[in-house]
Every structure is written in C-alpha cells, then in structure tokens.
Structure 1
C-alpha cells in the first residue's frame, strides 16, 4: 500500500535538524568503520523497521559503496548466507539487537557486544552504535510521516 506523505520530511522542514543529521552522519563515518559496513547496518535496521524510503536509500548507498546485488539481497538473511565477513556479521548482530530493544530483557546481550568488540575498537563501536541510533531516528521520521521510496530505480 503506497500512501501520500502526511507532511514533508520533518528534517527538511526544520533546517537545524538537517544540520544535526549531517553532523551525526559525519561523526559515524569518520572513525574508520568501512562505509560498506555502515551501509549494510543502515539497510538492516531499515528492513527491521519497515522504512521503505530508508531501505531504498540504504540499498542505493550500499551499491555506491561497492556492494554486490548478491549481498544486498541477502542482508535480511545474513545469518544463513556465506556472503558477509565476521566483522560485518558482528555489526549486523549489534544493529539488530540495538534496534529491537523491547524484544528481550537483556536487549543487547554481552555475547553480541563482545563479538562486536572483538572486531571493532572503542571509537568504531561508538560509531556503529551512533549509526544504528541515527538509522532508527530516520526510520521513525519516515514511517511516522509516511515518506515514500522513489517510484522507480534510476
């Protein structure tokens, strides 16, 4: 069901929000986590939240970062495919846990955190957590206000 947006994207209506969003983006992408990993994280978070606009932009961004169609199609089933590195799997597991906070009492279990910490340093972990939160932020804006994905891929 494709619907019309309720309002323009809130971030575009409030100029300071755009500035803040850009700062969050730059901060998350500034410490050395591979851009492709962050794109996969954004895509997976957006799939979980059902944000069509962000799934679309996430897939497009991942393609620009060099992702293959094979890997993009498999993100939702990353545990069952051989296409992802151990570091990417750790980032995706952390992203899923941090997105589904209400699904279990210990929202981000120690084993999920420890596996991510095995592959990423403290600043990189901070960047991934910040990017998960930012992705969730964009998903909530878009889903609440029914922001559509583009009609066709260009």
Structure 2
C-alpha cells in the first residue's frame, strides 16, 4: 500500500502539471486505490485545496471545491469510475466546473458575511466609542473570540 500511495503524492507535488488536472487526477487516483474502509473520498479530496494554494490558484482562502464536487455524489462516482476506465479528461473538466461553482458560492458567502458587522452594530445599539462598537467589527476575523 505505501508504494501505491507514494505515486499520487509525487504526482501531486509536481510543478509542471496544470493545476486542475493535477488536483483531479490526484483525487481520482487516491479514490481508485481506496486504501481505507471509509473516508477515502474525503481524504482524497483534501489535497485539492492544498494544491490550489501551493500552486498559487488561491491566495488567502481555500475555496470549497470538494463540497461543490460532491454536491452530486452520483456524478462524482460515475466520473471516478470512468477515470478508472481511462477517461481522465471528463474528471478534470468536472473538477474545473466544480471550482467555478465553488468560487461563485464562496464569493456570495463573503458578500453576505461582509454585511454582518453593520447589522450587529445596529442590533447592539452600541454607544459611540464603546467596547462593543470596537469589538463587533473584529468578530468575523476572530470567530473563536
């Protein structure tokens, strides 16, 4: 098993493969090896974000590409099975379309989140210069607070 896992890991670290192709093939290959009884898809999709970040496709956040991919689990498994039969192109295209969808949804989420501090300030009826007026704008940046 270690040698089967080593090959996709080497592939996922190459700098000379198109980013979406690298992420898609790395995921499909891990899913095809299927080393665990459960969680192979989740573990196999994890490097998608890491590859996107490492290769400079994303800068500040991880776009939830994997979530967009599995929104239609049937298509995901069909395309992984087709990959195993030699059709890598369809899976790469599927990942690229999922990345676009995920980016659009993430952009909408960011826009919605950006409106929250103003709404919270209004609901809190903060006095000018009060502690809550100073803290509320930081809540999105420090969600654990």
TM-score for the superposition, normalised by structure 1: 0.30
| More RCO (CA 8 Å, sep 6+) | 1
Higher alpha-carbon Rg? 2
TM-score for the superposition, normalised by structure 2: 0.31
